[in-house]
């Protein structure tokens, strides 16, 4: 408890400014699936979920935080695991998609500001339709979902995009990849129930955003790529949309479902010295699926008034709160990620029809 008290004290001090800045309310797969997106160098120290900023410590705690210390422990911790370092047979793809539509917007964040309705900047929620400031694992399990797979009752959210003062919402199912972030894709296991984390920070600078290990191609619009901020102009054409792809950390400490900064229980893989292999650091040895948001907003033309609720384009970040039906998630992870396939939301790889699908025509377990 003494160690936790010191951590929380430090977070409170470093997070004071961030608490003010957070404010109150007023992607088909590409050829870059390789896990080297972690962008670490051989021998580099393990990346935390984000370096340079922590999320603001909340003045309220989740109902799942039994002793109100900011730590939520896993019901079934994973211990005695060493980072997987073997290189299995090469498979270019090891992924499946969770296709989830926008359900609602709300100035809530049940991870950063639990039980504080209206405390956050505005967020766009996908997946679970019940997500709000009072969300818990149990409330998500009782909710409904906009994801194609009924078993995915997880909550996904990001800052709302505005053009002027008008919200612009993604249309239709958005692409949320579940990939292998480590070279040994056979070591990836499903998320533990109730795991939650924040990817990136609303306070990150443009340079921090560009150098973030989750950065893929930045903001895209038409033929404009690798933009750190939202482009000021995009081609005016029916099929042109604003896009971004951003990857989450995929190595877990095996103990915590959440920590006071909502990030330090997760880590990005690092490159094994002397190789090009991505492995989990010893501090976070458990390989989980790497989530990658691939979001698209129906906006183009003059983009000078386009912004995020959290600020400039480089303030982009997102949250994930796992509430998958455990057998459904395991079937998809085992069949597609561990199996080295490129699957759709059914767990079906069109280039390998002989492998079959993990789910039936209704996106449920057969």
**pLDDT tens track for 284-311:** 999 999 999 999 999 999 999 999 999 9
Instruction: Inform me whether the pLDDT recorded for 33 exceeds 50.
Output: no
Task: Let me know if residue 19 belongs to a domain.
Answer: yes
Which tokens sit at 56? Answer: 């603001």
Kindly list the distances between the CA atom of residue 169 and the CA atoms of 69, 129, 206, 292, 330, in Å, as whole numbers in the listed order.
36, 15, 24, 19, 31
For residue 362, being part of any structural domain is answered with no
Residue 129 covered by a domain: yes
pLDDT of residue 15: 35
Residue 315, Cβ density class (10 Å: 0-12 exposed, 13-18 middle, ≥19 buried)? buried
CB neighbours (10 Å) of residue 232?
A: 13
Alpha-carbon dihedral angle through residues 280, 344, 210, 55, given to the nearest 10 degrees = -70
Tally of domains in the chain: 1
pTM for the whole structure: 0.86
- pLDDT value, residue 57: 53
> Does residue 361 form part of some domain?
no
Pure H helices in the chain = 2-14, 16-22, 137-142, 206-211, 326-332
Three-class DSSP category at 179: strand
CA distance 176 to 153: 14
Instruction: Say whether pLDDT at 56 is over 60.
Output: no
Would residue 133 count as lying in a domain? yes
Q: Tell me how far apart the alpha carbons of residues 128 and 349 are, in angstroms, rounded to a whole number.
A: 26
Residue 206 within any structural domain of the chain? yes
Query: Could you tell me how many residues make up the chain?
Result: 366
Q: For 15-135, where are the alpha helices, taking DSSP H only?
A: 16-22
Within-domain flag for 360: no
pLDDT surpassing 80 at residue 185? yes
| Mean pLDDT, rounded, for 337-365 | 98
Could you tell me which residues come within 8 angstroms of residue 289 by beta carbon, excluding any fewer than 6 positions away? Answer: 178, 179, 180, 181, 188, 190, 191, 250, 333, 337
% residues pLDDT > 70 (the chain): 84
The parent domain of residue 297 ranges over 2-355
Do the domain assignments include residue 230?
Answer: yes
């Amino acid at each position: 408890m003494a160690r936790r008290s010191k951590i929380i004290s430090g977070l409170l001090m470093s997070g004071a400014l961030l608490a003010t800045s957070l404010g109150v309310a007023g992607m088909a797969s590409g050829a870059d699936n390789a896990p080297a997106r972690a962008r670490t160098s051989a021998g580099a120290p393990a990346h935390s979920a984000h370096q340079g900023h922590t999320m603001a410590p909340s003045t309220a705690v989740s109902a799942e935080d039994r002793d109100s210390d900011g730590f939520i422990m896993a019901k079934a911790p994973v211990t005695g695991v060493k980072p997987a370092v073997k290189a299995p047979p090469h498979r270019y793809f090891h992924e499946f998609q969770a296709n989830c539509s926008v359900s609602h917007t709300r100035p809530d964040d049940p991870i950063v500001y639990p039980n504080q309705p209206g405390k956050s900047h505005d967020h766009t929620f996908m997946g679970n339709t019940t997500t709000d400031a009072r969300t818990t694992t149990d409330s998500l399990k009782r909710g409904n979902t906009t994801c194609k797979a009924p078993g995915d009752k997880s909550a996904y959210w990001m800052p709302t995009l505005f053009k002027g003062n008008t919200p612009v919402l993604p249309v239709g199912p958005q692409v949320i990849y579940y990939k292998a972030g480590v070279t040994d894709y056979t070591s990836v296991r499903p998320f533990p129930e109730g795991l939650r984390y924040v990817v990136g920070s609303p306070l990150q600078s443009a340079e921090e955003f560009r150098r973030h290990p989750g950065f893929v191609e930045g903001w895209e619009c038409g033929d404009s790529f690798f933009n750190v901020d939202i482009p000021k102009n995009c081609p005016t054409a029916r099929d042109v949309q604003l896009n971004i792809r951003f990857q989450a950390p995929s190595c877990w400490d095996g103990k915590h479902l959440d920590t006071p900064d909502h990030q330090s229980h997760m880590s990005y893989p690092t490159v094994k010295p002397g190789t090009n292999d991505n492995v989990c650091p010893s501090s976070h040895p458990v390989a989980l699926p790497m989530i990658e948001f691939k979001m698209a907003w129906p906006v183009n033309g003059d983009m000078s008034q386009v912004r995020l609720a959290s600020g400039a384009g480089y303030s982009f970040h997102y949250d994930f709160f796992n509430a998958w039906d455990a057998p459904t998630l395991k079937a998809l992870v085992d069949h597609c990620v561990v199996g080295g396939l490129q699957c759709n939301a059914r767990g079906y790889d069109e280039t390998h029809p002989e492998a079959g699908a993990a789910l039936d025509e209704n996106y449920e377990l057969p």
